[in-house]
Amino acid sequence: MESRVKVLGHPLHQMLIVFPLGLLATAVVFDFIARISDYSTAAVVAHYLISAGLISGVVTAIPGFIDWLAIPKGTRAYRVGLLHGLGNVVVLLLYFGSWVMRRGAVEAPETMATVLSTAGALVALVTGWLGGELVDRLGVGVDPGAHLDAPSSLTHDKVPAGHYSASGMAHE
């Protein structure tokens, strides 16, 4: 199933997801640095990483939601996509709770703020796997002409004869 929201021939959701995942996961790393070293600047960095991760997470969800709406209901991909999306809402809510708890004490957040961000990271591992299942196993967001010798997405060339698309169908 081809993505509905593309930039230069590639699915936008798949391009953007690296930002919230990277920012929010790195926030947890800085939380732990702050906890074990008593280095308050690390806690401040974690706060700003969460802020950027939340914003990028909401932006990333928009093309993901549009793509999910295009998946036929009643399919496994639809159900996995629903779990992926709802799980990511939980991830953002956990990090948002952590962000709110930090607002009064950015340099020394409560332990519960770190617990919430860590829980968000653990849930993100599951939702990231579900996203991989959608793309790698179920072919969601994959161009129908994808194969090992496919032309650049910047061209409008057709799949060459005798090659196979992502669906495994031969093109003559």
Model confidence over 90-127: pLDDT tens digits?
Answer: 999 999 999 999 998 999 999 999 999 999 999 999 99
Q: How far apart are CA 110 and CA 47, in angstroms?
A: 12
Question: Are 93 and 105 found together in one domain?
Answer: yes
- Residue 163: inside a domain: yes
- Residue 166: inside a domain: yes
Q: How far apart are CA 141 and CA 158, in angstroms?
A: 18
Question: Are 129 and 160 found together in one domain?
Answer: no
By residue range, what is the domain housing residue 163?
145-172
Provide the whole-model pTM: 0.87
> What are the DSSP calls for 37-86, one per residue?
H--HHHHHHHHHHHHHHHHHHHHHHHHHHHHHHTSPTTSHHHHHHHHHHH
- Residue 1: inside a domain: no
Question: Are 14 and 62 found together in one domain?
Answer: yes
Question: Are 116 and 36 found together in one domain?
Answer: yes
Phi, psi values for residue 89, rounded to 5°: -65, -40
